[in-house]
Amino acid sequence: MMKPLEGIKVVDLTTFLAAPTAARVLGEWGAEVIKVESPSGDPGRTQGAVFGMPYEDDENLGFDMSNMNKRFVTLNLKDPKGLEVLHRLLADADVFVTNIRTKSLVKLGIDYDSLKEKYPKLVFAHCLGYGEKGPEKDTAGFDVTCYMARGGVFGTTVNKGDAPMIPTNGFGDFQVSMCMASGICAALYNRSRTGLGDKITVSLHHAAVFMLSTGVVSAQYGNKYPKSRKEVICPTNNVFRTKDEKWIALCAPQYDRDYDKIMTLVGRPDLVGNEKYNNCDRMNALGLNSEVVTILDEAIKKFTRAEILKIFKDNDLPCEACYEPLDMYEDEQVWANGIMTKLDCPSGKRNIATNPVKFQSFEPTFKVSAAQGTHTVEVMRELGYDEAAIKDYLDSGAVVGKKALK
């Protein structure tokens, strides 16, 4: 059985996380992905230092997260010969993925307007910080600034009065990567009908606002953010700390229906039928939300996480542990559904998340990244360069062969 994108060729001129991860996903779905790096390399290769992980050519999961299932060539695009090799790649490519800023693409002559006439079937996929228009269109952008900050995540999801959340690196980037992958696939499908490629853009800023849709829409009706967990409209839709200092999330939005059941289960039968608290509208009108949250805090604090989870789940109340990464490694549900896989590394088997889209027709395979320039010569041969030309390009620095991390 063929993978869904088998036969599709992707040229990846990307750095860091969001855009290269989109290409990684296309590779998992069967596309041939060729990543083009500058002689200095994708700075994502050394992000292991930021993530608290090793970064060696033979063990670099911080880079693999975004760059598995690719081949790697190194081109000096400031050299006409290096740029020529890129154009040979684009000539028979289906998709060009990049997050290079527009003004730099224009300078190199590889922006969409420059390429669409030469390669009319090419799908041009551009990951941006702030979008194509407006005063910030050329501003440097990262997940933290464009997505988490300007996109509203930090300011909206904070527990009111506290500092913003400290997310894992790339929290927004990985969401954006799936948006990009979906747009690329839609453009490829449309090309099958029209014969023409297209330009798709995904900005970190826009994606974040979309992911916060409920808050974005409801705020205009007076639903204010940020919120305090003590003041939420439905106290049984909340997070609680347990006796063993773990967090759980209870999601019981039908407050009036479940109030008596919950109070019984947490050991407060004395509050069953209490008209002061048992109706959500009345409780909100009287501003008693924090009292109910405090009651639940004190009651749930008497149970361990495992105890209260069992009680709630046994009684069909949606509830879950607020897992930390180490918890995920031991989660039977994770391994049963292929949510993570194990890669063979010099230090042993290491866990890495898979992309969340599953196909009935095939099981994905995972090929770790390689050193910069590992496939430069191989790919040039495939493009029709003879050995003398390859040597000339290597000697001149227009292209670079395999180069180990320092």
Instruction: Residue 316: count other Cβ atoms within 10 Å of its Cβ.
Output: 9
User: Can you tell me which residue has the tokens 């991860």?
Assistant: 21
- Using DSSP's 3-state secondary structure scheme, residue 11 falls into strand
Spatial distance between the Cα atoms of 8 and 29, rounded to a whole number of angstroms = 10
Per the residue annotation, which of 42, 64, 173, 258 is the catalytic one? 173
Sheet holding 32-37, edge to edge: 199-203, 123-128, 95-98, 9-13, 32-37, 71-75, 399-400
- Cis omega (within 30 of 0) for bond into 226: yes
Burial of residue 230 (CB within 10 Å: 0-12, 13-18, 19+) is middle
Spatial distance between the Cα atoms of 370 and 378, rounded to a whole number of angstroms = 14
User: Catalytic residue at 173?
Assistant: yes
Instruction: Residue 312: count other Cβ atoms within 10 Å of its Cβ.
Output: 23
> In DSSP terms, which residues pair with 202 in a beta bridge?
127
Active site residues: 173
